[in-house]
Amino acid sequence: MTTPSLLILPGDGIGPEVMAEVRRVIDWFGDKRGLAFDVSEDLVGGAAYDKHGTPLHDDTMAKAQEVDAVLLGAVGGPKYDVLDFSVKPERGLLRLRKEMDLFANLRPAQCFDALADFSSLKKDVVAGLDIMIVRELTSGIYFGEPRGIFTEGNERVGINTQRYTESEIDRVARNAFDLAMKRGKKLCSMEKANVMESGILWREVVTKVGEDYPEVELSHMYADAGAMQLCRWPKQFDVIVTDNLFGDLLSDAAAMLTGSLGMLPSASLGAPMENGRPKAMYEPVHGSAPDIAGQGKANPIACILSFAMALRYSFDLGDEAARLEAAINAVLEKGVRTADLLGEEGVTPVSTAGMGDAILAALDESL
């Protein structure tokens, strides 16, 4: 059997720090569970620009197309704000998503019981929360044409175009329905069909796809109302599917229900490759956090949970993913906390590496 391959792209800011803890977890699975991975590493974002003058070198892009999964840390930072838009660090991330055709972005929002008090919402609203937002990732307003800043008469105008084809909506909807079948068999589709023609098409196509999934309870909601309902009673949802722009906004809103961006992973999935595995990239939801980079304050859990998603969705190792998730839960239950999760009495503050130590110890205890 071919050894599964991983390309690690630590990126900028805290990316290298949190990814270092992921490397330790990967090594643990190799040493203790016999799960070997062919791991390579390369540059993306500002780090790639500093060396190559581009946020993603063509050779790196080629590697990403060949491996079974990509693990990405974070990109960007204030030192790159002066760069032309075409070479900003974020363009490297967008190129990966676009050229790998990673059309379905899975963003879970799960509230660990030990962290329920960290949410800005009441504990009873978020305790036990476990929802999945599926965001379309390669089309919509971020990629539609025409776009740009133009001069009309005596003033400038900025233009972005919301554009979706039936096939683009169909494939992300099927991904969401497939997930719903494995979870609570409940799916809510969010758009703005009341004011946007693209929203009308979105609702029609999702409804049509739903006919192939009669066991799934399908509902529709305007995205602005969905944002309100996420804050009012998020546990009414199980799987949410939505477009690129609304998915960006709604998933970040859902992220803060859990108490910290440092806790949230994501997966970006594409079409199956020849080996049957989907093209995939996994990354934490948080950014590069340059204000704490190099200080050992970053929370590596989101990045480690992203590797857990890779175990589940790319390598069919759901039991091992659950093992890793349970180890993280055990650590949190013991009161081990990085800087973003401090604030309650009786906790044990640890560094980025200290959290990695605790998770590895919990994994040892799971054997």
Q: Is the dihedral of CA 119, 321, 99, 213 positive or negative?
A: negative
Among this protein's residues, is 142 annotated catalytic?
A: yes
DSSP 216: S
Q: Are 280 and 7 in contact (CB under 8 A)?
A: no
Distances (CA, A) of 348 to 69, 127, 324, 366: 34, 22, 20, 21
* Catalytically annotated residue among 42, 68, 88, 142: 142
Among this protein's residues, is 252 annotated catalytic?
A: yes
- HEC profile of 152-204: ECCEEEEEEECCCCHHHHHHHHHHHHHHHHHCCCEEEEEECCCCCHHHHHHHH
Q: How far apart are CA 107 and CA 87, in angstroms?
A: 27
Residue with tokens 């080996």: 275
Count Cα atoms within 13 angstroms, Cβ side, for 197.
Answer: 5
* Catalytically annotated residue among 243, 248, 313, 340: 248
Among this protein's residues, is 243 annotated catalytic?
A: no
* Catalytically annotated residue among 98, 224, 334, 357: 224
Q: Is 128 helix (H, G, I), strand (E, B) or coil?
A: coil
* Catalytically annotated residue among 50, 130, 252, 357: 252
Among this protein's residues, is 224 annotated catalytic?
A: yes
* Catalytically annotated residue among 68, 80, 192, 243: 192
Annotated catalytic sites, by residue? Answer: 142, 192, 224, 248, 252
